[in-house]
Structure 1
Amino acid sequence: MMATLSPATWRSLPGPEDITRVELPNGIVVLTRSNFNSSSVVINGYLPCGSLYDPPDKLGLAGFTARALMRGTARYDFQALHEALESVGASLGFSANVHTITFGGRALAEDLPLLLNLLSTCVREPTFPHDQVERLRAQLLTSLAIRAQDPAEMAELTFDALLFPDHPYGRSEDGYPETVKSIRREDLEAFHRAYFRPQGMVLVVVGAVAAEEVIAQVNAVLGNWLATPADENRIVPPVAPPRQTVRQHVPLPDKVQTELVIGTLGPKRNHPDYLPASLGNNILGQFGMMGRIGEVVREKAGLAYYAMSSLNAWMVAGSWEVNAGVNPANLDRAIELIREEIRRFVSEPVTEEELSDTQAHFIGRLPLSLESNAGVAGALLNMERFQLGLDYLQRYPQQVLAVTREQILEVARRYLDPERLIIVSAGPPAEG
């Protein structure tokens, strides 16, 4: 019999009753949920200005800008800012993806005003000191050099470029050595001036602070941030699935293992297909010993060190892919076995037992993921980012139980075509 959450547990999940959502007059959306069982507080959020806005010759600019925000501000130099955090055991950091510059931090509840003040000065008043920019550039170039020798990273990078040709999703968010070298301090200033705005910013606060106090504190430090809307709101174009199978190998001398990525497009995060696809993906290559693919390719055939599938869903599209680490001599056989499993997956429904076990797994892990302030903050941020609704977590168990074997098969057939896949490997040069 499948384990499910009791009605009492469902009602205890974060929902409209205990999540406060407020939009400030300047356009900042604040979501908060109190948790007085913890003495700490977590902040999470984003600004809507990611690598989508990178010029083609300066790819990596959004990420460079995000990482430079804490290198010096109008009120703190690099050392003073980090000493302010360390003196109270707090943390704060920034990063970038295609759509957003994201941030996250944590502190004791009593230090939330400090954390919010540091967040404010970083996003509103960065000074991009020349010496710090050059130090950061050296670090970024070192990371890119390490990436160039990492088979898994290079396979994924090439896979994205082939699956999303001439598209923001197909470009490296970290940029490339030549583009990072071309970025100047003035470019960071211009990017910040053009795209950092309160409109569209989302800030989540979870922890031992009352909702009204959170709103008052956020309003005190960010409510007076006024700026006109950005000059442009770039639209991410739609993506077409592969028309045929494309295979490419990235040769990396002196490597002994080959990393493999096989896949195609998947549903975007807020599409009705996402949940059936997610349950199906768990059966295909996640559950237990990495699902059907792990069972066949790794356990039975012994062709891979690991083999698993993943569903990556974003704002306008996603990817559905299988990743494996194999001995180069086993590459072709591993590819064929994976394609055979995909053919099987789209030819017949999953079993009742597979579906029941996966549903129980999805429902059972939900409250575990919400045990920490960080887990709740991440969930609230995704609910806002993908417009899932404040009652999403409370509806989630019922939605999972409503998915049928037939729905999973239908969605799998809609996205997974065994004859139209992107196949990328990276590792020792192919012989012959």
Structure 2
Amino acid sequence: MNSQPSALPTPETVLRTTLPNGLTLLVRENHTSPVAVLQGSFRAGAVQETAEQAGLAAFVASMLTRGSEHYGYDAFNATVENVGASLTLSADMHSTDAGITALAEDFDDLLKLLADIVRRPTFPVEHMERLRQMKLVGIQEREQDTASVAARRFSEALFGRRHPYGRAAEGYLDTVSALQRQDLLDFHARYFTPQGAVLVIAGDVEAGRVLDAVQACFDDWRRDAGLQPAIEPALRASGQRLHAPMPGKVQSDIVLGGYGVRRADPDFYAVRVANCILGQFGMMGRLGERVREEQGLAYYSYSAAVAEQEAGVWFAAAGVNPEDVEDAVASILAEFDRLGDEAVAAEELADSQAYLTGILPLMLETNEGVASTLLNMEWYRLGLDYLQRYPALIADVTAADVQRVAARYLDTKTCIVSIAGPDRLE
């Protein structure tokens, strides 16, 4: 292994190995500072819970740090805090994600701690009830936030609450209230396995020693993965306009758009460039320039293209004065139409492509950025040469590609429009 990293990780500078139990490890050495970072994902997420148990994966992830076979709650916190480290766990749609940041000299101890809480949690009852109350308060607060309500209604309209992509990952008051300790035990026993898990470690480490440490912590972990539930097709809803009345609020939030592309879709890169032009580049692209700056219709306005494993969404969001809701919606839809009807100018296209390739080295300036990027590459099977291929993938997107994907995925006749807030200023 090279002692100093090149500008971008390459296949030659990343150790990649898969243990016999199915866990994949990637290590990238960087000896410029005495810090080591781990980013990892286990294939246990919200897609594996039922609609009636919405919030279960998030509950399990939060409980992992509350007690394990060799570390009680106080011991866990002391182990992390006494060395100034951090260790986090959170549930996502398809995964439970782990993160460690520590001085290199303390990293092995944190790795042992992670292995114990992931493999041998105890789910203490007293902490479960305390955490449940915290989660219920968080859900109540979510229901009073106009941006959260608009986004949740948008997802529910696209996918339906029976579909994992359509329901709130943190759950609902009724579902979280009903979860029992046995539900958490069963979920962990069934879905927390080394098969398909990925751990990425970057920083002041020696790859061979890291491999030995990971094997010591995880190599004897043998557990068959539970059957992955099939994800039903989306409802393919279209053309809905939703309004969640929230009296007393002084701002309305808008989310509008439709289905996008999954991560493996051939249109992924065209959508990424088109979205940058629409609502990301500079001061949030065309939406920021037109809707917020020129027309003064929004406090913020941007767009996002989210590509999941099985589906995606492409949407715009804005926070506005309730009196300006209709004008803001019309303005955003007009930008959707313009992107699909008119070829983007060569300079605007080139600027967005330069931005999307230029941010890559910036993302890789930290160990956290390197670990996160390598994890994404492994999770989506992009290959260790992906960073070398990425600039060409972006540069190959043409103005015709941008216009084509905008016309297809941002069809204003089929958009879902979700609004949360008062009907007017009260």
TM-score range, shorter chain: over 0.9
CA contact (8 A) 1:270 1:387 kept: no
Q: 1:155 aligns with which of 137, 150, 157?
A: 150
* Aligned position for 1:207: 203
Does residue 277 (structure 1) correspond to residue 274 (structure 2)? The answer is: no
Q: CA deviation at 1:102?
A: 1.0
Q: 2:171 aligns with which of 167, 172, 175?
A: 175
Are the structure 2 counterparts of residues 138 and 259 from structure 1 closer, same or farther at C-alpha, using a change threshold of 3 Å? same
* Cα-to-partner distance string for 1:176-213 (whole Å, 9 max, x where unaligned): 01100001112111111111111111111111111111
* Cα-to-partner distance string for 1:287-338 (whole Å, 9 max, x where unaligned): 1222112222111211111111111111111111000011111101111111
SS state of the match for residue 170, structure 2?
A: coil
Whole-Å Cα distance in 1 between the matches of residues 71 and 190 of structure 2? 23
Whole-Å Cα distance in 1 between the matches of residues 107 and 190 of structure 2? 29
Q: CA deviation at 1:344?
A: 0.9
CA contact (8 A) 1:251 1:430 kept: no
Whole-Å Cα distance in 1 between the matches of residues 179 and 361 of structure 2? 44
Whole-Å Cα distance in 2 between the matches of residues 289 and 344 of structure 1? 18
SS state of the match for residue 268, structure 1?
A: coil
Whole-Å Cα distance in 2 between the matches of residues 90 and 318 of structure 1? 35
CA contact (8 A) 1:270 1:388 kept: no
Q: 1:287 aligns with which of 281, 286, 290?
A: 281
Does residue 133 (structure 1) correspond to residue 120 (structure 2)? The answer is: no
Whole-Å Cα distance in 1 between the matches of residues 246 and 418 of structure 2? 13
* Aligned position for 1:113: 108
Q: What is the TM-score of this pair, normalised by structure 1?
A: 0.95
**Letter of the aligned partner of 1:182 in structure 2?**
A
* Aligned position for 2:370: 376
CA contact (8 A) 2:262 2:307 kept: yes
**Letter of the aligned partner of 2:375 in structure 1?**
L
* Comparing 290-299 and 365-374, the one that deviates more: 290-299
SS state of the match for residue 396, structure 1?
A: helix
Whole-Å Cα distance in 2 between the matches of residues 228 and 364 of structure 1? 42
Does residue 24 (structure 1) correspond to residue 27 (structure 2)? The answer is: no
CA contact (8 A) 1:11 1:394 kept: no
Residues 327-406 of structure 1 mapped to structure 2, 5 A cutoff: 327-406=321-400
CA contact (8 A) 2:37 2:99 kept: yes
Q: CA deviation at 1:286?
A: 1.3
Whole-Å Cα distance in 1 between the matches of residues 80 and 283 of structure 2? 41
Residues 405-424 of structure 1 mapped to structure 2, 5 A cutoff: 405-424=399-418
Q: 2:61 aligns with which of 62, 66, 83?
A: 66
SS state of the match for residue 359, structure 1?
A: helix
SS state of the match for residue 11, structure 2?
A: coil
Q: CA deviation at 1:430?
A: 5.7
* Comparing 170-179 and 262-271, the one that deviates more: 262-271
Q: CA deviation at 1:125?
A: 0.8
Q: What is the total number of aligned residue pairs between the two structures? A: 421
Q: CA deviation at 1:353?
A: 0.7
Q: CA deviation at 1:238?
A: 3.4
SS state of the match for residue 299, structure 2?
A: strand
Whole-Å Cα distance in 2 between the matches of residues 355 and 257 of structure 1? 34
Q: CA deviation at 1:55?
A: 2.5
Does residue 82 (structure 1) correspond to residue 82 (structure 2)? The answer is: no
* Aligned position for 2:231: 236
CA contact (8 A) 1:241 1:264 kept: no
SS state of the match for residue 371, structure 1?
A: coil
* Aligned position for 1:55: 50
**Letter of the aligned partner of 2:358 in structure 1?**
G
Whole-Å Cα distance in 2 between the matches of residues 32 and 410 of structure 1? 40
* Cα-to-partner distance string for 1:129-167 (whole Å, 9 max, x where unaligned): 111111111110111011010000111111000011231
Q: What is the TM-score of this pair, normalised by structure 2?
A: 0.96
Q: CA deviation at 1:236?
A: 2.2
Q: 2:40 aligns with which of 45, 48, 53?
A: 45
Whole-Å Cα distance in 2 between the matches of residues 74 and 66 of structure 1? 16
Q: 1:216 aligns with which of 205, 212, 219?
A: 212
**Letter of the aligned partner of 2:259 in structure 1?**
L
CA contact (8 A) 2:136 2:176 kept: yes
SS state of the match for residue 66, structure 2?
A: coil
Whole-Å Cα distance in 1 between the matches of residues 52 and 285 of structure 2? 42
* Comparing 259-268 and 397-406, the one that deviates more: 397-406
SS state of the match for residue 425, structure 1?
A: strand
SS state of the match for residue 406, structure 1?
A: helix
Where structure 2 has 5 or more consecutive residues not aligned to the other structure, the ranges are: none
Whole-Å Cα distance in 2 between the matches of residues 234 and 211 of structure 1? 36
Whole-Å Cα distance in 2 between the matches of residues 413 and 116 of structure 1? 48
Q: CA deviation at 1:241?
A: 4.1
Q: CA deviation at 1:228?
A: 2.4
Does residue 102 (structure 1) correspond to residue 97 (structure 2)? The answer is: yes
**Letter of the aligned partner of 1:306 in structure 2?**
Y
Whole-Å Cα distance in 1 between the matches of residues 34 and 89 of structure 2? 24
* Aligned position for 1:256: 250
Does residue 145 (structure 1) correspond to residue 133 (structure 2)? The answer is: no
Where structure 1 has 5 or more consecutive residues not aligned to the other structure, the ranges are: 1-9
Whole-Å Cα distance in 1 between the matches of residues 206 and 405 of structure 2? 43
Whole-Å Cα distance in 2 between the matches of residues 388 and 286 of structure 1? 24
SS state of the match for residue 377, structure 2?
A: helix
